[in-house]
């Protein structure tokens, strides 16, 4: 079996987190909350150490989830040019469609963003963390559905290249 590598770029995750938290803070401003309150919800570069810890926790949870469907060979963390990258070395089943790997990478990224956002909001606005928890559930379902995709087996007729679907 061929090992597949899924790459998680922490910089991309952070940018998405900043964007999500910014929009949530702005939504609270328009709802009439004080500016200092909504600014506390918005994550920034100064919070990156705390967010990195949350991202690591989310990756660990994601690996546990993936291990039900794939053989997780290793998780490799790489620090390059002040940019962190986590590589998941997976060995998917032989009937898993290879073209679904990019979709899987996207689902994993969504899960990590939402789970990290949920942890962030649990510290700063616990009421909003319940909404983020629903988004985490949705991301978990997406990962499970994508991971459980399988190619339908087919039987090849002897001496001819015609395949017969089962």
Domain ranges of the chain: 4-149
Total number of residues shown for the chain:
166
Q: What is the DSSP string of 37-73?
A: HHHHHS--GGGHHHHHHHHHHHHHHHHHHHTTTSEEE
Alpha-carbon gap, residue 71 to 89, rounded angstroms: 9
Q: Which residue has the tokens 């040019």?
A: 81
Say if residue 49's pLDDT is above 80: yes
149-158 residue pLDDT tens: 888 766 665 5
The larger pLDDT score, comparing residue 59 to residue 29, is at 59
Say if residue 15's pLDDT is above 90: yes
pTM for the structure as a whole:
0.85
The larger pLDDT score, comparing residue 164 to residue 94, is at 94
pLDDT reported for residue 31? 81
Alpha-carbon gap, residue 132 to 42, rounded angstroms: 14
83-139 residue pLDDT tens: 899 999 999 888 889 889 999 999 999 999 999 999 999 998 888 888 889 999 999
Alpha-carbon gap, residue 124 to 38, rounded angstroms: 10
Asked if residue 5 lies in contact with residue 87, where contact means CB atoms within 8 angstroms, the answer is yes
pLDDT reported for residue 1? 58
56-81 residue pLDDT tens: 999 999 999 999 999 989 999 998 77
Give strand pairing partners of 153.
Answer: none
């Amino acid at each position: 079996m061929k090992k597949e590598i899924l790459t998680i770029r922490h910089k991309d995750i952070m940018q998405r987190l900043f964007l999500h938290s910014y929009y949530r803070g702005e939504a609270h401003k328009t709802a009439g909350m004080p500016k200092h309150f909504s600014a506390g919800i918005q994550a920034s570069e100064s919070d990156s150490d705390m967010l990195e810890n949350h991202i690591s926790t989310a990756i660990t949870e994601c690996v546990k989830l993936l291990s039900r469907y794939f053989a997780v060979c290793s998780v490799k963390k790489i620090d390059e040019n002040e940019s962190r990258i986590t590589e998941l070395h997976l060995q998917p089943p032989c009937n898993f469609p290879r073209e679904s790997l990019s979709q899987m990478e996207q689902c994993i990224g969504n899960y990590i963003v939402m789970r990290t956002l949920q942890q962030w909001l649990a510290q700063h606005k616990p009421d909003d963390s319940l909404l983020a928890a629903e988004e985490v559930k949705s991301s978990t379902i997406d990962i499970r559905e994508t991971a459980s995709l399988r190619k339908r087996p087919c039987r090849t007729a002897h001496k001819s290249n015609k395949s017969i679907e089962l």
